[in-house]
Amino acid sequence: MIAILMASGISIVSSIICTRVLIGFFKRLGKGQPILGAEDRGPSHHMHKQGTPTMGGIAILFSAWLGWLIPHAREGLVFSDQVLIMWLAIVVLAGIGFLDDYLKVRRQHNRGIFWKKKGWITFGIVVSLMWLLASRTGVSQTISFTRAEVPGWDVSTPVWIIWTALMVWATTNAVNVTDGLDGLAAGSALFGFGAFGLIAYFAFRNSEIYSSMVNPLDLAVLAAAMAGACAGFLWWNAAPARIMMGDVGALGIGAALGLLAVTTNTHFLLPIICGINVMEAGSVAVQMGVFKASGRKKRLFKMSPIHHHFELSGWPETTVIIRFWLLAALCVAAGVALFVADFTNEIRLIGDAVL
How far lies 63's CA from each of 21, 84, 159, 242, 271, in Å?
Answer: 13, 16, 34, 18, 26
What's phi and psi for 300, nearest 5 deg?
-75, -40
Residue 331 falls inside a structural domain: no
Residue 125 falls inside a structural domain: yes
Query: How many whole angstroms separate alpha carbon 319 and alpha carbon 325?
Result: 10
> What is the domain count for the chain?
1
State the pLDDT at residue 214: 86
Please list the helix, strand and coil fractions of the chain in percent, rounded to the nearest 5, in that order: 70, 5, 25
Residue 265 falls inside a structural domain: yes
Residue 308 falls inside a structural domain: no
Compute and round to an integer the Cα radius of gyration of the chain: 20
Between 57-69 and 216-237, two packed helices, what is the crossing angle to 10 degrees? 140
Between 57-69 and 2-29, two packed helices, what is the crossing angle to 10 degrees? 150
State the pLDDT at residue 222: 97
Long-range CB pairs of 215-219, under 8 A, 24+ apart, other chains included: 215/78, 215/80, 215/82, 215/83, 216/264, 217/3, 217/76, 217/77, 218/77, 218/78, 218/79, 218/80, 218/82, 218/83, 219/80, 219/82, 219/83, 219/260, 219/263, 219/264
Compute mean pLDDT per 10 residues along the chain, 355 residues long, and list them.
93 97 88 59 62 89 97 88 95 93 76 66 93 92 88 90 96 93 94 97 91 91 97 94 92 96 95 96 91 83 89 92 96 96 84 63
Query: How many whole angstroms separate alpha carbon 39 and alpha carbon 14?
Result: 40
User: With contact defined as beta carbons under 8 Å apart, do 67 and 225 qualify?
Assistant: yes
Q: DSSP character for 49?
A: G
Residue 206 falls inside a structural domain: yes
State the pLDDT at residue 280: 95
SS3 for 321-346 is HHHHHHHHHHHHHHHHHHHHHHHHHH
Residues 6 or more apart whose Cβ sits within 8 Å of residue 151: 143, 144, 145
Amino acid of residue 338:
L
Residue 46 falls inside a structural domain: yes
Residue 325 falls inside a structural domain: no
Residue 313 falls inside a structural domain: no
Residue 52: half-sphere exposure toward Cβ, Cα within 13 Å: 21
Q: Which domain holds residue 20?
A: 2-271
Record the pTM: 0.93
CB burial of residue 206 (10 Å; 0-12, 13-18, 19+)? middle
* Element containing residue 213 per DSSP (H, E): none
